[in-house]
Amino acid sequence: MDGNSIIHVLENGLRIVYTQRKSNVAYCGIAVNAGSRDEAELHGLAHFVEHTIFKGTRRRRAWHILNRMELVGGELNAYTTKEETLVYSVFPAGNMERAVELIADLVQNSIFPEKELEKEREVVLEEIHSYRDTPSESIYDDFEDLVFAGHPLGHNILGSEKSLSRIGQTECRRYLTELYVPANMVLFAVGRISPERMIKLAERYFAVMHHKLERPQRIPACIASPFYETRNIGSHQAHCIIGAPTFGMHDSRKYALLLLNNMLGGPGMNSALNVAIRERRGYAYTVEAATTLFTDCGLFTVYFGCDARQIEKCLRLVDNEIRRLASDSLKQHTLNAAKKQYIGQLLVGSESVEGFALSTGKNVLYFGKAGSVKETTERINAIAIDEIRDIAAGIADNLSTLIYL
């Protein structure tokens, strides 16, 4: 980025993080500390609100919202996770006020017209059906549902046909009113205008929002005991997830966990599991590790798809590779090489301005600061070999398994 990120807080509690950058493209969005974890019993509500927030405000119809950024060549996007929702736009520089005003209108004035809700409900149902038809994706949700044992972190972000049928205008408005509040949101932007101009835009369009410091408290995470479960779904290929709960995003050990994740099954073809399972033995086409960090807990997983006859062999190889990192066979020179590779990947990824904009919003939302690749690099370089061994041992001793046949 061309400049340092500045953080400003409005009187109503809304945080703003802005980075000035000389470019023909700019970014602006809102990060909300609300996701499927915050839905109580109406599963899919957070995601449905994210979809329908574009369907009408007190002064705009859906078509006008759609065209507002697209008519200048921009795009309007959104996504929902278990703990956050982001609504954002990428657009030609010179249109920052247009984007700020539109996003402010969406989060403050959405009315969720019943006619539009009915149409969008069908869209989301198709999304659910498509997702369930993809075992390599749906197995993650089923695994999390088992790990979190009925806790809100476990249920599907999309919801179900039954839960969607219970969501209407009243439920959407209540969710928006309770959680889309200044102290629970961060306005993030990257563009050419001055920081002073950006703050004035934020004050103009967001200062009228009601000042509310409190939000509904989240239920602490509930973790199930290790399990081994097989489900027959009639799939040609077998699918498997093996994983274990971990600490959350505020734990300083997260850097070591993310490095371990990259060593085992990161994007590099030289990851330990890719070499052991695919390159050496040809047991699977896809094998990958993933770490999801929530505010109060986390989840480490390994996924692979293979012929059903190779499942047990692959499971043993996964267990062996995790335990190898927990043993004295992990040497310092191997760890140093892994650090260098991971840092290099982060540097390459940091060139994505859209990724940078989204990450600054989320970083301020959760940690109160924009963060930087330099800071992350320093934390990775400081990881000791015993940290990797301890985390690997903890994972190896608490593994759960879900298999689709």
The domain tally of the chain equals 2
pLDDT in tens, 330-340: 999 999 999 99
Structure tokens at 47: 């995601």
Judgement on whether residues 173 and 56 belong to the same structural domain of the protein:
yes
Judgement on whether residues 366 and 324 belong to the same structural domain of the protein:
yes
Residue-by-residue DSSP string for 60-118: -BHHHHHHHHHTTT-EEEEEE-SS-EEEEEEEETT-HHHHHHHHHHHHHHB---HHHHH
Distance in angstroms (rounded) separating the CA atoms of residues 70 and 376: 35
Judgement on whether residues 255 and 159 belong to the same structural domain of the protein:
no
Task: Give the pLDDT score at 305.
Answer: 95
The CATH number of the domain holding residue 258 is 3.30.830.10
Task: Give the pLDDT score at 40.
Answer: 76
pLDDT in tens, 313-353: 999 999 999 999 999 889 999 999 999 999 999 999 888 99
Judgement on whether residues 55 and 138 belong to the same structural domain of the protein:
yes
Q: Is the pLDDT of residue 2 over 60?
A: no
Distance in angstroms (rounded) separating the CA atoms of residues 289 and 319: 13
Judgement on whether residues 9 and 99 belong to the same structural domain of the protein:
yes
Q: Is the pLDDT of residue 140 over 70?
A: yes
Q: Is the pLDDT of residue 184 over 70?
A: yes
pLDDT in tens, 210-221: 876 666 778 888
Residue 173 lies in a domain: yes
What is the average per-residue pLDDT within 218-246? 93
Judgement on whether residues 298 and 386 belong to the same structural domain of the protein:
yes
Structural domain containing residue 68 = 5-206
Distance in angstroms (rounded) separating the CA atoms of residues 248 and 257: 10
Judgement on whether residues 400 and 338 belong to the same structural domain of the protein:
yes
Largest CA distance in the chain: 65
Q: Is residue 72 left, alpha or beta, with left meaning phi > 0 and alpha meaning psi from -120 to 50?
A: alpha
Task: Give the pLDDT score at 212.
Answer: 65
Kindly report the length of the chain. Answer: 405
User: If you ran DSSP here, which 8-state letter would residue 274 be given?
Assistant: I
Structure tokens at 386: 């015993």
| Predicted model pTM | 0.93
Residue 211 lies in a domain: no
User: Which H or E run contains 319?
Assistant: helix 311-325
Judgement on whether residues 254 and 343 belong to the same structural domain of the protein:
yes
Judgement on whether residues 26 and 145 belong to the same structural domain of the protein:
yes
Identify the band that residue 128 occupies on the pLDDT scale cut at 50, 70 and 90: very high
Q: Which residues contact 102 (CB under 8 A, 6 or more apart)?
A: 65, 68, 69, 76, 89
Q: Is the pLDDT of residue 275 over 90?
A: yes
Q: Which residues contact 37 (CB under 8 A, 6 or more apart)?
A: 82, 83, 152, 153, 218, 294
